[in-house]
Amino acid sequence: MAKEKKVEQITDMEVDFAQWFTDVCTKAELVDYSGVKGLFILRPYGYAIWENIQTVLDGMFKRDGHQNVSMPMLIPESLLQKEKDHVEGFAPECAWVTVGGSEELPERLCIRPTSETLFCDHWSHIVHSWRDLPMKYNQWCSVLRWEKTTRPFLRGREFLWQEGHTLHATEEEAREETLHQLEVYADLCENFLAMPVIRGNKTDKEKFAGAVNTYTIECMMHDKKALQSGTSHYFGDGFCRAFNIQFADKDNTRQYPHQTSWGLSTRIIGGLIMTHGDNNGLVLPPMIAPTQVVIIPVSMHKEGVLDKANEMLERLKTAGIRAMLDDSEQSPGWKFAEYEMKGFPLRIEIGPRDMEKNQFVAVRRDNGEKVICSIDELENETKALLDTVQSGLYEKAKKNLTDNCYPATTLDEAKDIVSKGGFIKMMWCGDLECEMKMKEDVGVSSRCIPFEQEHIGDVCPVCGKPAKQMVVWAVAY
């Protein structure tokens, strides 16, 4: 017989958080490295998490009247150049196709880093009248950005995402869409991924290339760094002018539509890992976990144990719970470690002694708590425990965020916060120079101008001029 599989060890997260993250990515079998730097393989378990995220978001997009489309993956260089700010932002990180078959191409083609130019080119063919608006499109695809340093999920040269692109007759409607889609992302994060968010506006320096406004949701990771988790952009009519997209309104005058786009990527899986994970591996919120419950039979060759385990599996499935049974020949101890590594929210143990008492043991992945339950109450107890794990994870992450957001009124205070870890709430005059100085002197970037403003002081601590707004600053991924 071949030997039992080894239980994999991972680095202690308090010793080396970056290595811990990489260990979880590979040992929980989420990703593998490919032969090209920065292009990662999403293995079945990693992709199943993405599929669940897709299902939630796609349902929300369609509920709100968006339609999926598929745009080409290649953009001619001349098309990318049509909107000036946009090309300046993206051209430096494009990958270029220069040969097709055996021939040098007359014009080089970039692999899409994002698809605003493609949507606008298409819309210039099909938008004519107010009847054609709004255009509410989305696509699921991968994009390429030729980054220098790369990490699984957090910074890939290729990554999977969805990109929504819409056109509206009025600015008001477009701005409403932009904010609504940010709220959709916040809903996903808070209510499915158990990741509390700070909603806000990006500063001009941090906004998307070509956008008038970029809105963001920012999350705090276990190591108190920030992760930008989803962004939504209002473009005004800049691209529409550049691409000559016009519509005849009801009184037949020609107008430029107002545009939005919004995107969320597999980066969010990196966020999930770094928000909830621990030294035993991944921890997944039940709402998004591909498998919510694993049943592990103890002394499984004793009479009736496997039958009981299978019966429980069927009952859980019938109740709409994503459950599996591991009846392989690996030891229970190996199985415990394996499914802890994979972050299954709940483990159910059932053995001969439990059966005698008509009970089972449920073990929560989030805190290791063991709960003894009656088999009669299997479905109810399991559902209640999954709800408890879901809200427990959210509360824990919320506490991490709340406890580690500090106001600062001087640069020294800001530096102190950075050295112990956390987000800085600080007033800002609105000048780019002060924003640059925060980066240089304190080592933080502006994460957002939160919608929920607080009054920390009257002046910008960097320059002493009157402050306009409170900004959240942090070291970010």
The residues binding a second copy (CB under 8 A) are 1-2, 5, 32, 34-36, 39-44, 47-48, 50-51, 67-76, 79, 92-102, 108-109, 111, 118, 121-122, 125-126, 129-131, 137, 141-142, 144, 146, 148, 157-158, 160, 248, 250, 252
**Considering beta carbons, is residue 314 or 376 the nearer one to a second copy?**
314
Distance, CA of 395 to CA of 403 (rounded, Å) = 12
Q: How far is the CB of 48 from a second copy (least distance, A)?
A: 7
**Considering beta carbons, is residue 212 or 325 the nearer one to a second copy?**
325
DSSP 131: G
* Sign of the dihedral through C-alpha 423, 439, 92, 21: negative
Distance, CA of 395 to CA of 337 (rounded, Å) = 25
The three-class DSSP label of residue 89 is helix
**Considering beta carbons, is residue 250 or 420 the nearer one to a second copy?**
250
Distance, CA of 184 to CA of 164 (rounded, Å) = 12
**Considering beta carbons, is residue 50 or 215 the nearer one to a second copy?**
50
**Considering beta carbons, is residue 248 or 384 the nearer one to a second copy?**
248
Residues pairing with 161 in the sheet: 141, 265
Q: How far is the CB of 328 from a second copy (least distance, A)?
A: 9
Q: How far is the CB of 347 from a second copy (least distance, A)?
A: 21
**Considering beta carbons, is residue 250 or 301 the nearer one to a second copy?**
250
**Considering beta carbons, is residue 98 or 419 the nearer one to a second copy?**
98
**Considering beta carbons, is residue 5 or 241 the nearer one to a second copy?**
5
**Considering beta carbons, is residue 44 or 333 the nearer one to a second copy?**
44
3-state DSSP of 419-474: HHCCEEEEEECCCHHHHHHHHHHHCCEEEEEECCCCCCCCECCCCCCECCEEEEEE
Total Cβ atoms within 10 A of residue 315: 15
Q: How far is the CB of 411 from a second copy (least distance, A)?
A: 34
Q: How far is the CB of 34 from a second copy (least distance, A)?
A: 5
Q: How far is the CB of 94 from a second copy (least distance, A)?
A: 7
Q: How far is the CB of 46 from a second copy (least distance, A)?
A: 8
- Type of residue found at 455: H
Listed in sequence order, the residues at least 6 apart from 313 whose beta carbon sits closer than 8 Å to its beta carbon are 295, 323, 324, 325
**Length of the chain (residues):** 477
Instruction: Give how far the C-alpha of residue 125 lies from the chain's centroid of Cα atoms, to the nearest Å.
Output: 33
Q: How far is the CB of 30 from a second copy (least distance, A)?
A: 11
Total Cβ atoms within 10 A of residue 95: 14
* Sign of the dihedral through C-alpha 203, 204, 205, 208: positive
Contact 336, 364 (CB under 8 A): no
Q: How far is the CB of 292 from a second copy (least distance, A)?
A: 17
